[in-house]
Structure formats: C-alpha cells, structure tokens
Chains A and B, each alone.
Chain A
Amino acid sequence: MRRVRLLAILFLVSVAAACLMAEFIAPASYAQQFREVPNAAPTRQHLLGTDDLGRDRLSRLLYGMRVSLLLAPAAAALSSVLAAVIGGAAGFVGGWLETGVMAATDLFLSLPWLFLLITVRALLPLNVSPITSVVITFALLGCLGWAAAARVICADARTLCASDMVLLARASGSSGFRLLWRHIVPNLRPVLSAQFWISVPVFILTEANLGVLGLGVAEPLPSWGSLLRELESFSSVTAQPWQFVPLVLVIATVSCFHLAMQEQETWA
C-alpha cells in the first residue's frame, strides 16, 4: 500500500512538473490556431492532434492542467481557511454562535450549487482577462465550498473543548486566544489537512462541470473543464480516442490525490 501511495505522489509530482515547465515542453502556444488543420489526428507536430479550431491539444492539456492544478489547491486552501475560522470559532465558543453558524451551514449546504455559481458568474464584470476570469472562478469555488468542512471542524473543535487535555489546560490557567491557538488549532490541523486534500479534486471537477456548461474559464485559456468539453459528443470521441487523454489524466490525478489524502488521514 505504501508503494502505491509513493507511486501516486510520484505521479502528482511528475504532472505538476510537466505543467510548470509547459513553456519548454509544449510544442505551441495554447491559443495559437492552426486553422489549416482543425480536428487533426496525432502527428509529429501535434502529438495529441488539434482541437476544433486547430489548437495543439498537448499544449492546451499542459497549460490547462497547470491552471487547474495551481488554482484548485489555492481554492481548497481558501475554503479550508474559511471552514477553520467559521467552524473552529463555532465549536470553540459554542452556544448561540454554534447554533447560528450551523443553521447558516445547513442553509449553505441546501443551496443548488451549480445554479448559484452560474448566477454569481453572470453577475461578475464582463471585461476581465481570461486569467482574471479563471482566478475569479476558483475564488468563487473557494468562497462557496467551506460549509461541509466547517461542519466537520465545528464538531471536532467541540469534542476537543470537552476533552481532558483542554480541561487540563484550562485548569492551568490557559484561556481565550491562547487556548485556541496553542491547544485547539494544532489538534485540528490533521482534520483541516484532510479537508484540504478532499477539496482539491472536488474543485477540479466542479470547474470541469462549469466548463462543460460553457461557464468555466474564459477562452482562449484552457482548463481541464474546457478540455473535457470535447467529450460531450459521444460519436466524435469514439472516432478520436486520443480525446480521452484529459479524462484519463483527471481520473488519475483525482485518484492520486485521494491516495495521498489517505496517507494524510493515516498520519492524522
């Protein structure tokens, strides 16, 4: 099992390295349209062929993975921090704050996410560059994805507050911020870490879902979501099996994240 985890981490590192070195590896710019060869099969110039507009698929895959792999963890970190602050405070203070926060969390969890994201996306300013749009998309995911994690953290913080360890700390005069910072937060770290690793693949897939609806990252910037849109047409995919490469990579990456997360949980 340990070897499998090692392989998973190795895979993630290789993918991340390939994405970070996209400028050197990619045979062309992700935006350049080779209009004479749209929908081309793999050739020496275009190892994964070209898309509908003649853009090199390999280049778009590398840059698209970079976008998703850089920004999904960033969004996951944002949602984990929000969950830690909101859930941690609710669990630590308890009483009316906990009741209020949990009610807000329930409300948040009951919202139809996809429609909410579509609405919020539609309200944003139009004249933003593709890079800004992708940052906005992932920031939205981060800001809206804290609720489930906050519930877990709140429960954990509450359990910790009632533990012997915290009772002992209180007895020795520790209270308020010091109690939170020195005793509660360090013990919440493994849960937070697990929540972070769970969120990363979730955000990658959510962005992919938004991309499938045409509401993800703005053109010409690629993302995993926009790359997966090519799979919408079943009949074209069966004729061009190399279009499956982004899907295979998403599955492999998400699986590797889960394996890495299991390792975190073991540590926790």
Chain B
Amino acid sequence: MNRILTSIAVLFAVVLNSAPARAQSGNQLRFCIGAEPKTFNPLLADDEPSETVRYLTGGVLMRLNRMTQQLEPELATAWKVSRSGNAISFTLRANVRFSDGTPFSAGDVAYTMQRLMDPALHSPTGDSFRSGEGKVVTQITGSNQITVTFPKPIVGLDKLFDQVAILSAKSQQKEMAVLGPYYVAENKAGSYLLLRRNPNYWKRDAAGRQLPYIDSVRLDIQQNRDMEMLRLARGEIDFINSLSAEYYDKLAAQGAKMAYDAGVSLDSEQMWFNQVPSSPLPAYKRAWFTSTSFRRAISESINREDIARVVYRGHARPAASWISPANKFWFNAKLQPHPFDQKSALQMLAHEGFRLQSGVLRDSGGHAVEFSVITNAGNKARERMATMMQQDLAGIGVRLNVVTLDFPSLIERIAHSFNYEACLLGLVNDDLDPNAQMNVWLSSAENHQWNPSQKTPATAWEAEIDTLMHSQASTFDAKKRKQAIDRVQEIVWQQEPFIYLVNKNALSAVSPNLHNAHPVALRPQVYWNIDELTLGSEVARNR
C-alpha cells in the first residue's frame, strides 16, 4: 500500500513539475533555418543561419532600426564619430550583465574590437572596418566611456556597429555569454537549436517589464521550403522570414491573413556580358559586348514589366539602378527603368552596323547575333527570366541560348576561366551604405564582374566611376557622398555594364498567433523587432 501511495505521490510530483514546462513551451517562437549555423562566434558569422543566431543572441552597441533605417542606441546610450572620421567614442549603458551574470564594461568593448580586428581571426565582420595599414587603438576614457580609433577614416563607421556583437572579456563561457535577448541553450546537431530568454537582458518595455516577451525560440533546421510551408499551415512554426512569390500567392489565396509583402527589397537580379579582354571569345563577340549601344539595345529589348508580373507574380519591380528604391537615402530617384522598346533597340543597333535580315540580326561582318546566358541550375526564377528574355530577344532577331550550370561550374567560368558570354545572377544586399559595394564598382576589384581586376580602367566611364567611388569614400559630407553615388548610378544606367532587371519584393509569412510582427524589406524581415514580438498565449496571459 505504501508503495502504491509513494508511486502516486511521485506521479503527482512529475505532473506538477511538468506543468510549468508545458506553459513555457507554449510561449515558444518557432521558425525554420535552411542549415545548421557554421559558428556561434558572432565575429565569424558569415552564413545566414549564423547571422540569425547572432541577431537573436548578440548585444550590439547600436542597432539599425529596420523600419526607419535609422540607428538607435542599444548598449551604447550615445556615440560620436570624430571629425576626421577615424574614431568613434561611446558612452555605455550602466548596470548591464551578460547572460551568465558577468558584468558588462568598456573593457568588453575593447576586447571585442581587438578580437574583431585580429588578422589571425579572419572575421568577415572585421573586414568592413579595415581602412588601412595599422592597428586599431581602443582607449577607455571613463568607467562607461571608450574611444575606438582606426588607422584611417571609415565612411558610415557608426552603422557598421550594427553587426558587432559584444563579447565578454572575462566570462568562462567565452562567446556563449551574450548580451542579446536570448542565449543558446541547446543545440541538437542537424535538428534544432533552442534559444532561451536571457535572464540578464537589460531592455524593458514602457511598463517596466523585462523584454523579450517570448520565453524561448526554437530554430528548426529545414531545407525543404515545401515542408516549411506545410509546417506553417499546421501551426508548427510561427513565421517564414523569406517567401517566394509562388508560395506568397498560395498563402494569399487561402484567405488566411498570413502573407506579407513589405515592398521592394534591397536585392536585385541582373545580367551582364563578359568584357574580359583575355576571355576566349571571338573578337566579333567581344566587340558586341563592349559596345554600349549593343548592351543598351539588349536592355531595351527585355520586357522587365513582364518579368516582374509573370516570374515574380507582381511581387517585384523593374530595376533602374544598382541601388534599390528600398534604400531610401541612396537611391537616385531620377532614374527610371529602361523601357521595353524594341524599335528603339533596332535603331540603336542599326547605328552600330547591325541589320535585321529575314528575322536574324547580323553584325557588320555578317555574323548572326547569338549568345548564351549562364545561370545557376535549380533557381527557377532565374531560369524563367532567362526563358522570357529568350523570347523577347527573338523579337529583334537575337538567338539566346539558356544554359543552367551547377554553382561551382558557374563560379569557375565567371571568376577564373572567363569562358562565358553572358551571365544572369542576383545580388543579395544587406548593407544600406553603397560603400559596401566598393568591391564591385572599382575597376581593380575582383567582383567587378564584367571585367574584373583591371590594372587601369578599360574605359573612360569606368575611370570616372573609380574617381567617384574613391571621392565618396574619403568624405564625411553626406550631401557630397550622395551626389557622387547619384552620378555613379547615372553612369551605370547609361552604360549598362550590369543590365538590371528587377528588384524583388520582401515577402514573408506570419502566423496569426504571432503578434507585433511588422515585416520590413531589410533583413531579418520578420523578427527584426524580436524584443517586442508576442505569441497568442502571451497576449492572453497579459490580458
């Protein structure tokens, strides 16, 4: 009898103990990431899953508000960039502790900066701060004051700190001790990652309640987008951060208000011709590709409106520039996408000696105009775009061959052998400051895709872009920088080394169970305000 009573008591104890656990799991945010994070060291984060973990766990000195696109104070209550542009002084928030209880101080900021700039670490975040030869000097000027001095001026210096998660100099847990809203509690390799609320998180809401509202975040590793959609429909996850137009339409058609279109994003899709002098292309083809009129004619023969409407189901916008209209400050609003005008295209080509003969466009040497465009296999949107371009270009007598290649083969051709004619790819852009694209626009840059690593600029307009990009990088006058960047956009619009096709919209899906979500165009679209998100159960509890 005693044994039976003991068993019942144990059972009760188990049930009572499990009750809070159930309540906790009920207040758990769940979403999918495409792969396992490669690192938990925020200074080494380079892949999307690692960046997600960094965003959710890392405490930063200031944060770029994804909605207003303005910097807001976080661990730094105030900051000032020096006139010379190579130093920044922070006033730090007092009485802040890491997730393991270690106090936060200016020493942690100094330690983080030293680690970040350590050449042996090869930090991708640190690369943005490398302005020139020399050491980064940190000077603690008070209990909550620190100045970081770089060897040379850095434009947009303050905004770069949005990516720098502060590490603890003293904690035994090293990078696992965090200052952000969550800490990594469990990592089941290949399956999921569990983040729990940081008990020492400094931020509180207007009513004085400690943030974040949600107790834990579970990141399920799921590569299959179809499965992700099914799980959202079943209520197993709370949002999908980035959605394809196809899935967006399906969700919208189901009637439930889950699909969100935050408008045009920073990402662009573009094609370019190979203009590398040493490429194994016949001379007549190189002459076509280096001709501005030829590139303009091809551009005007592509129906961007149709691409946006058919391929992206209306969730994209014809692109005009290398800066998206989502980038409110830097986009040159005077520029309009090139119109679809095949008549004008043929006139331009005629001036260059091309002629249309029985439906086939021929150059002055009698060569039929035919070229191939390569794109990465498996990307349906790009394959569809290329097929639409194929039909559009047939309208001016150009034969376009679409070739899909696996990604390594494609990179080999565009970056090493230069054995290709045209390429269609996209640019995923996270940075608002155009200075981040120096590695694309300088003629000497490796990512100057149409003709990389030039010793001297091959054309006058590339030389002008070089000058403008250097001049905007050496001034801190926002007006002057804007003028220079506007001019670069104009040159690119005129010369079309990249033929910009569309800017995709930022699409996401949010379950009705998730509250306070305001998806935006900048990454991370849905959980950028993670502190303020609440789940249905939490809303009910608050009432």
Within 8 Å by CB of A52, from B226, B247, B310, B386, lies B310
The smallest beta-carbon distance between A143 and chain B, in angstroms, is 20
Of the candidates B378, B384, B419, which one forms a contact with A213 in the assembled complex, judged by CB atoms under 8 Å apart? B378
Nearest CB on A from B89, distance (A) = 53
Q: Does B123 count as interface, using CB distance less than 8 angstroms? A: no
CB closest residue in chain B, given A119:
B409
Shortest beta-carbon distance, B157 to chain A, in Å? 43
A76 vs B425: C-alpha distance in the bound complex, in angstroms? Answer: 36
CB distance from A4 to the nearest CB of B (A): 37
CA distance A130 to B400 in the complex (A): 10
**Contacting residues, chain B, for A235 (C-beta < 8 A):** 226, 229-230, 247, 250
A214 and B377 contact, CB distance less than 8 A: yes
Would you call A126 and B250 a contact (CB within 8 A)?
A: no
Contact A236 B404 (CB under 8 A): no
Separation of A19 and B370 alpha carbons in the complex (Å): 29
* Residue from the list B306, B383, B404, B419 in contact with A35, Cβ < 8 A: B306
Let me know if A234 is at the binding interface, CB within 8 A: yes
Choose among B246, B387, B406, B420 the residue that contacts A220 (Cβ–Cβ < 8 A).
B387
Given contacts A235-B229, A236-B250, contact A33 B409 (CB under 8 A): no
- Nearest CB of chain A from residue B311's CB, rounded to whole Å: 8
- Asked whether any CB of chain B lies closer than 8 Å to the CB of A219, the reply is yes
Determine if B421 and A126 form an interchain contact, defined as CB atoms under 8 angstroms apart.
Answer: yes
- Residues from chain A with Cβ under 8 Å of B8 in the complex: none
A54, A128, A214: the one within 8 Å of B378 (CB): A214
A238-258 interface with B by 8 A CB criterion: 239
Interface residues of B in 264-307 (CB under 8 A from A): 306
Interface residues of B in 157-177 (CB under 8 A from A): none
Task: Determine whether the beta carbon of B250 is less than 8 Å from that of A218.
Answer: no
A contact residues around B374 at 8 Å (CB): 126
8 Å CB contact of B406 from A38, A122, A133? A122
How far is B309's CA from A35's CA once the two chains are assembled, in angstroms? 9
Q: Given A118-B406, A220-B390, are A52 and B384 neighbors across the interface (CB < 8 Å)?
A: yes
Contact of A214 among B229, B230, B383, B390 (CB under 8 A): B383
Docked CA distance A116–B163 (Å): 41
For the complex, what is the distance from the CA of A234 to the CA of B225, rounded to whole Å? Answer: 10
Q: Which residues of B contact A33 (CB under 8 A)?
A: 310, 387-388, 391
Q: Contact: A53 with B384, CB < 8 Å?
A: yes
Which A residues are closer than 8 A to B by beta carbons? Answer: 31-33, 35, 38, 52-54, 118-119, 122, 126-130, 133, 213-215, 218-220, 233-236, 239
B residues near A (Cβ < 8 Å) are 226, 229-230, 246-247, 250, 306, 309-311, 370-372, 374, 377-380, 383-384, 386-388, 390-391, 399, 401-406, 409, 419-421
23 A/B residue pairs, CB under 8 Å, sorted by A: A33-B388, A35-B309, A52-B380, A52-B384, A53-B384, A53-B388, A54-B310, A122-B409, A126-B374, A126-B401, A126-B403, A126-B420, A127-B401, A128-B401, A129-B401, A133-B401, A213-B406, A219-B387, A220-B391, A220-B402, A234-B226, A235-B229, A235-B230
- Given A35-B306, A53-B388, A126-B403, 19 other A-B contacts at CB below 8 A? A33-B387, A33-B388, A38-B310, A52-B311, A52-B380, A52-B384, A53-B311, A54-B310, A122-B406, A127-B370, A129-B399, A213-B377, A213-B378, A214-B383, A218-B401, A218-B402, A219-B390, A220-B391, A234-B226
